[in-house]
């Protein structure tokens, strides 16, 4: 048990170091940062001085260790495009992405569970079949088309909801939030539906199949025989037992929610980290790309690690 946890943590650290190496290799081998940072009128002296200041004249391994150490302290270098520290830019953008991902996760989880339970109970109903068919079409649609479709419907045709940006935000310390203004809240609706739709259908299908499995169990039949109302059986007895896989999948999907936010943020011009990353790719802004890569790998690896450890905690059979 202890050795498993230890091995798993070691593995995660190794993965992060490899990702760090990839990020660092991007710095070293792609283009010359000196070219990007100094203008046309540079002298050889300027180049040598900056090379020394940035430590680019040192051996590869030394630079790599330095890179990892400074990344650990939250120092990812200076953006080639904006000329400001990457950590500062990311910190400005992070609230937008995290709020969007959080609202999408809540949307996906709540609607997914409700629709999953409904389609499992009314298995032959017309509405249930309609929901299932629509979800199949929804999954086949690329995310960006869903976003455009929603914009067309609710912004262009009906003119109910804003089609881009975060609306008005309120600054709370270093955190900007859109939760406190009405324009901020309405701006969240379309992007979070776009982002959460895929996860919602995933959770719905999972809850549905788990519920159908559980409803066949003996203890449900006994609960019915005892004369308990159907509502109590469904929610207190059956649903509770479907929650373990649902929570696991939701946890694992949190990471991809943040990754797929790249697409949603571009469609809705949402000023988050994903939009920053896309712009960084277009401008070949290596420090921003590398920092985003490292940040997102920490999230992914961390989430995977936590889910794996939770498995061990929940399922005694894995404790060998």
- Which positions touch another protein (CB under 8 A)? 15, 18, 26, 29-31, 140-145, 148, 151-152, 156, 163, 256, 259-260, 262-263, 266-267, 277-278, 280-282, 284, 286, 289, 293, 296-297, 300-301, 304
First to last CA, the chain: 6
Q: Which residue has the tokens 């401008």?
A: 283
The whole-angstrom separation of Cα 169 and Cα 271 is 12
- Identity of the residue, 67 or 277, whose beta carbon is nearer to another protein in the bound complex: 277
- Identity of the residue, 28 or 181, whose beta carbon is nearer to another protein in the bound complex: 28
- Identity of the residue, 113 or 203, whose beta carbon is nearer to another protein in the bound complex: 203
Whose CA is closest to 56, among 21, 27, 80?
A: 27
Q: How far is the CB of 11 from another protein (least distance, A)?
A: 9
Q: How far is the CB of 291 from another protein (least distance, A)?
A: 13
Q: How far is the CB of 51 from another protein (least distance, A)?
A: 19
Q: How far is the CB of 42 from another protein (least distance, A)?
A: 18
CA separation, residue 32 to residues 35, 39, 56, 66 (Å): 5, 13, 10, 18
Within 10 A of 302 (CB to CB), how many other CB atoms are there? 13
Q: How far is the CB of 234 from another protein (least distance, A)?
A: 29
Q: How far is the CB of 25 from another protein (least distance, A)?
A: 9
Q: What is the DSSP letter of 151?
A: I
- Identity of the residue, 202 or 239, whose beta carbon is nearer to another protein in the bound complex: 202
- Identity of the residue, 26 or 102, whose beta carbon is nearer to another protein in the bound complex: 26
The whole-angstrom separation of Cα 78 and Cα 74 is 12
Q: How far is the CB of 277 from another protein (least distance, A)?
A: 8
Element (H, E) at 14: helix 2-29
Whose CA is closest to 91, among 255, 272, 270, 269?
A: 272
- Identity of the residue, 4 or 175, whose beta carbon is nearer to another protein in the bound complex: 4
The DSSP result for 215-255, as a single string, is HTSHHHHHHHHTT--HHHIIIIIIHHHHHHHHHHHHHHHHH
CA separation, residue 147 to residues 14, 91, 178, 198 (Å): 37, 26, 20, 12
Residue 173: both structure tokens together: 């310390």
Residue 4: both structure tokens together: 């498993």
- Identity of the residue, 107 or 277, whose beta carbon is nearer to another protein in the bound complex: 277
């Amino acid at each position: 048990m202890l050795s498993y946890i230890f091995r798993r943590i070691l593995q995660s650290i190794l993965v992060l170091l490899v990702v760090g190496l990839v990020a660092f290799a991007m710095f070293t081998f792609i283009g010359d940062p000196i070219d990007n940072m100094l203008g046309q009128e540079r002298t050889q002296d300027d180049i040598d001085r900056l090379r020394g200041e940035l430590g680019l004249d040192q051996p590869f391994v030394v630079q790599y260790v330095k890179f990892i150490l400074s990344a650990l302290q939250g120092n990812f270098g200076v953006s080639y495009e904006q000329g400001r520290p990457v950590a500062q830019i990311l910190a400005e953008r992070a609230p937008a992405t995290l709020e969007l991902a959080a609202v999408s996760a809540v949307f996906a989880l709540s609607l997914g569970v409700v629709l999953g339970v409904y389609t499992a109970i009314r298995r032959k109903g017309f509405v249930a079949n309609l929901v299932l068919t629509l979800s199949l079409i929804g999954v086949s649609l690329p995310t960006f088309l869903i976003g455009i479709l929603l914009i067309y419907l609710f912004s262009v045709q009906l003119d109910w909801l804003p089609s881009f940006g975060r609306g008005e935000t309120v600054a709370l310390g270093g955190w900007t939030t859109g939760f406190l203004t009405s324009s901020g809240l309405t701006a969240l609706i379309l992007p979070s539906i776009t982002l959460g739709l895929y996860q919602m259908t995933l959770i719905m299908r999972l809850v549905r199949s788990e519920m159908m499995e559980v409803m066949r169990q003996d203890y449900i039949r006994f609960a019915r025989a005892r004369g308990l109302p159907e509502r109590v059986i469904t929610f207190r007895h059956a649903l509770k037992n479907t929650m373990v896989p649902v929570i696991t999948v939701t946890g694992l999907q949190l990471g991809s929610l943040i990754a797929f936010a790249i697409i949603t943020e571009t469609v809705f011009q949402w000023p988050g980290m994903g939009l920053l990353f896309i712009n960084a790719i277009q401008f070949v802004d290596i420090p921003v790309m590398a920092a985003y890569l490292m940040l997102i790998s920490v999230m992914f690896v961390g989430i995977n690690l936590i889910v794996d450890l939770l498995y061990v905690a929940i399922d005694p059979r894995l404790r060998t």
